[in-house]
Structure 1
Amino acid sequence: MLTMTQLKDRSLLGLKDLGRDEIESILNRAAYWEAQHEKLVQVLASKFVANMFFENSTRTRFSFEMAEKRLGAQVLNFTAAASSVEKGESIYDTVRTLESMGIDAGVIRLKPAGVLEELSSKISVPLINAGDGNNEHPTQALLDLYTMKKRFGSLQGLTVSIIGDIKHSRVARSDLWALRKFGAEVKFCAPNNMTAPELEPFARYVTMEEALRSDVVMMLRVQLERHATGMLKSAEEYRAQYGLTEERASKLSKHTLIMHPAPVNRNVEIDDAVVESEQSAIFPQMSNGVPIRMAVMERAMK
């Protein structure tokens, strides 16, 4: 049985309260795993992990599953639509059920913010945050930092612009908390109705023109379903005002790195040709997600 201190040290609920040294150790361990030529190692051969996705995801779930299986872990997958949660069972009861069956760690993605923090105080296995509401998405931020560090060598002094729906973005928050610990400057650019005022003390809101004058330009996914709420007038208008069009991309500094947490709405927040451009790190980001999550899962269960 793990103590509460050990659980806290092995869990990964967010980056806001995680120290720089701990983040750096995860990044360094990810570099170790990326350098390994063998696709399958058995460091977690006797461990069982459950990927519990109470919110739809494809890319993040497969990335975790790939990482877990490469480490030799036994993996249990389920989504809420295929589970008893749809019949009214609580998230807590579902997690406790899997804990009772003997899992060694749980990866959880859910819509309501704050629930994961509460769960962690009642569950006796390490929990990994795979995205909770508009709170945090720590492994995405870790792979973002890893991608930037591979490109620039250091995060100190980098200027990083995050452009799009800041209000609802857990990626923006995790990236903000982590980058600030390494001495990077984060700038936000968003439509007025997509800003997060509570984050203003930590990152300036700038114009699109200024946002593009950065070492890293991070475009956020536009949730097109916000058409229905009136928050987003049209995809075309958003692209015209806040999209990384080919024309805007052509004016970027040659050293600027283009990033996006994906999935990408091509020709909305970023033009199709820009996704595939030489300055784009969008697909390398996805590749980097596997060694990062290998480091996180090894930390949780070894």
Structure 2
Amino acid sequence: MKILVTGANGQVGRCLTDRLQRSELAWEAHGRATLDIADEGSVTSHLERFAPDVVVNAAAYTAVDKAEQEPEIAARGNIEGPAVLAQACGAAGIALLHLSTDYVFDGTATQPYQVSDPVSPAGVYGMTKLEGENRILSACPRAVILRTAWVFSEHCNNFLKTMLRLAADRDELRVVGDQVGCPTYAGHIADALLEIAGQIQAGPAQAAYGLYHYAGDSGLSWCDFARYIIDAGQEVGMLQRAPLITGITTSEFPTLAMRPAYSMLDSSALQSAFGIAPSDWRQGVRQTLAALKTERERAGSLVS
């Protein structure tokens, strides 16, 4: 199987690259510098040259607040790019795996969102991601879209790494406590994408294609997630002390874009179709901390 990855410099893209480097698969991974998914010529030339069986699109515009100020740029990354990829993959008969977001929902639910639940994005980011989904599903029959949420990993900037950094310097952290969601480890998303790619290549039924949710196996607030991260960081020796974690309301931490108050996603449809269990986010936290600790120790040995 030959896999082409876009968005290789993001959290999921880097986790995919980590895994592909340890595999025997033929693969390529590209950031925007070598493959701009909104550039039809660039996309076509890469597909013709490498001839992948599966394209995994991990590229996206993910600056939720900035999207409110630069909707055209967000649309290019989240609508135009996926549309170009979908058209090219559809024409060539290539399977396309794509990542979307919980932000397609307005966050007013009281139980985990099913794929079939009505969508109603509250901001530019969610609206562009939803339109990107629609473009893909209309242009590429062999597409699988995974909506995910609260992604963290050892790579790039994310909530877990921010909490560790702030906890090292502060006596108190004030974290939003009235938003609930399912943390999802980017490494588990990468594993899920590779499992889906393998099953598609093996020839599943047409019904396997379509839209799914993939997220953490349980939910909690940002505040409680921060507490778990800090406790786990202490256990592995990443933190010498634990700051006080104080829950605050969303109104006390205003942002340009509205965050969904409830972002829990039901992943059961994906488990039924592909046998992939939801992300064990606690395990993901431990894996992330282990990777960060190894990185810190390696950096310390180089300095000394």
How does the TM-score come out when normalised to structure 2?
Answer: 0.28
How does the TM-score come out when normalised to structure 1?
Answer: 0.28
